[in-house]
Amino acid sequence: MKTFKSQIKRVSFLFIILFASISIQSCKSDKKETKNNETAIDSENVIEIITEDMEFQMQDTIPSGWNTFRYKNLSPQTHFFLVERYPEGKSLEDAKAEVIPAFSEGMKLLNEGENEQAMTEFGKLPDWYSEVKFLGGSGLISSEQIGETTIELEPGYYLMECYVKMSNGEFHSSMGMIRDFVVSTENSGNQQPVADIEIDLSSKEGIVFNDSITVGTHTFSVFYRDQTVHENFVGHDLNLVKLNQNSKVEDLEKWMNWSDPEGLIEPAPEGFTFLGGVNDMAEGSTGFFTATLEAGKYALVSEVPNTIEKKMLKTFNVSDSNK
């Protein structure tokens, strides 16, 4: 046991990189409600992403600066996208040749309970992988839902991935949900969005926000006061979830921990509809997301273990201000 724990400690930083990356508005005031959580933002620079199976359909080149990504999940599964920046000279081809094989075999061994052998397999990852940066993206989005997330990107080469698991434990990224794109030197011209709901996220205070929220379309800002390594070897993010009357937050907490055999695996638990959010970002970063809320019970939650204890699972009620 001591040997295994020491191996875990030695590779913990490697796991941060592995599981977060094998996985990836200019909000103007005139917005309108649409179905399936779609919010229309009057901007010519919205970047549309569509998933119909295990892919990200989007343009190959986007402008730099602030951009809103409108993610339409038309597949039967729950997805997200995480934006990564690889070190200079490394690309999607390097990921497929040097990263995904070790990742796939390591996951297979972990699912079989062969922990020490899995550590050996993950040890085959290239040294340059520790230089990958995580720059945001969407939160989890349920089937037939649409999420809008706004982040700021510098010119360069990027990857996008999803690491939700299929029922057999295989990550979506291993099945094709990984692609590259280029951010050009041409600036989008968009300004940083103005949020009407501000969220402060940290490992010490958890999720902090004003929970007096009414129905309608809202723009949320997510400020990463810090970023840290959690027990499942990834940093915290922010996901918006609608709960039905029979939902149990304990079920949500369990599912949000990928390291649990039943965590982050399809099918997602019944009674929860994921509406987006902001994926992992570095300390001091701010991302934005927009959602149209109906009356009912909701939650904000991070993809980490023990969310209730860490104050990273907060429920709130959305009221109809006209009643």
Domain end among 167, 187, 207: 187
In what helix (H) or strand (E) does residue 208 lie, and over which residues does it extend? Answer: strand 206-208
Whether residues 225 and 301 fall in one domain: yes
Whether residues 177 and 288 fall in one domain: no
Whether residues 109 and 222 fall in one domain: no
Token pair, residue 170, equals: 């295989």
Are 264 and 232 contacting, i.e. CB atoms less than 8 angstroms apart? no
This prediction has a pTM of 0.85
Query: Buried (b) or exposed (e) across 22-33, using 16+ Cβ within 10 A?
Result: bbbbbbeeebee
Whether residues 31 and 139 fall in one domain: yes
Whether residues 174 and 56 fall in one domain: yes
Evaluate whether residue 192 is within a structural domain: no
Total residues found in the chain within this entry: 323
Which CATH number goes with the domain that contains 113?
Answer: 2.60.40.420
The pLDDT tens digits for 27-52 are: 333 333 334 554 444 445 799 999 99
Evaluate whether residue 14 is within a structural domain: yes
Q: How far apart are CA 62 and CA 318, in angstroms?
A: 35
Residue type, 190: N
Domain end among 187, 206, 241: 187
Q: What is the DSSP string of 13-24?
A: HHHHHHHHH---
Evaluate whether residue 219 is within a structural domain: yes
Whether residues 44 and 88 fall in one domain: yes
Supply the range of the domain harboring residue 207: 197-319
- Residue 70 has phi, psi (to 5 degrees) of -100, 110
Whether residues 211 and 111 fall in one domain: no
Evaluate whether residue 45 is within a structural domain: yes
Q: How far apart are CA 149 and CA 160, in angstroms?
A: 14
Whether residues 168 and 259 fall in one domain: no
Name residues of the chain where pLDDT drops below 50. Answer: 1-35, 38-43
Whether residues 173 and 221 fall in one domain: no
Evaluate whether residue 70 is within a structural domain: yes
- How many domains, in total, are found in the chain? 2
